[in-house]
């Protein structure tokens, strides 16, 4: 089963979707990132590996590789997801 992440904070208009893509490539996870109307970013990850998802989230929050990102991620909500992995920024 895939995972759906909702990124909360200052995440729109700050290079967040590309930033998510860079860390997904680092962890070799396929997925998508989309801006949602309420100001959050939805990330769909094609993995059910909880440990891998947790490492991905830790990197998003800590940015150890210092990838370009002009916002901040305050919280990440994680849900199981069984739908199609689609979105406007694919990685």
Between the alpha carbon of residue 82 and those of residues 14, 39, 60, 89, the distances in Å are 29, 23, 23, 19
Query: What residues make up the domain containing 54?
Result: 2-90
12-70 confidence digits (pLDDT tens): 999 999 999 999 999 999 999 999 999 999 999 999 999 999 999 999 999 999 999 99
This prediction has a pTM of 0.96
As for how many domains the chain has, the answer is 1
What sign does the CA torsion over 34, 29, 71, 13 have? negative
CATH of the domain at 48: 3.30.70.100
What sign does the CA torsion over 36, 88, 46, 63 have? negative
Residue by residue, what is the 3-state secondary structure of the chain? CEEEEEEEEECCCCCHHHHHHHHHHHHCCCEEEEECCCCCEEEEECCCCHHHHHHHHHHHHHCCCCCCCCCEEEEEEEEEECCCCCCCEEC
Residue 81: which pLDDT band, with cuts at 50, 70 and 90?
very high
């Amino acid at each position: 089963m895939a995972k759906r992440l909702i990124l909360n904070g200052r995440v729109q208009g700050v290079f967040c979707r590309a930033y998510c893509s860079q860390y997904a490539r680092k962890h070799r996870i396929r997925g998508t990132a989309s801006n949602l109307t309420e100001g959050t970013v939805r990330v769909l990850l094609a993995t059910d590996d909880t440990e891998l998802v947790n490492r991905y989230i830790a990197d998003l929050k800590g940015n150890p590789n210092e990838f370009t990102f002009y916002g901040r991620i305050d919280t990440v909500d994680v849900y199981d997801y069984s739908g199609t992995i689609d979105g406007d920024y694919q990685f």
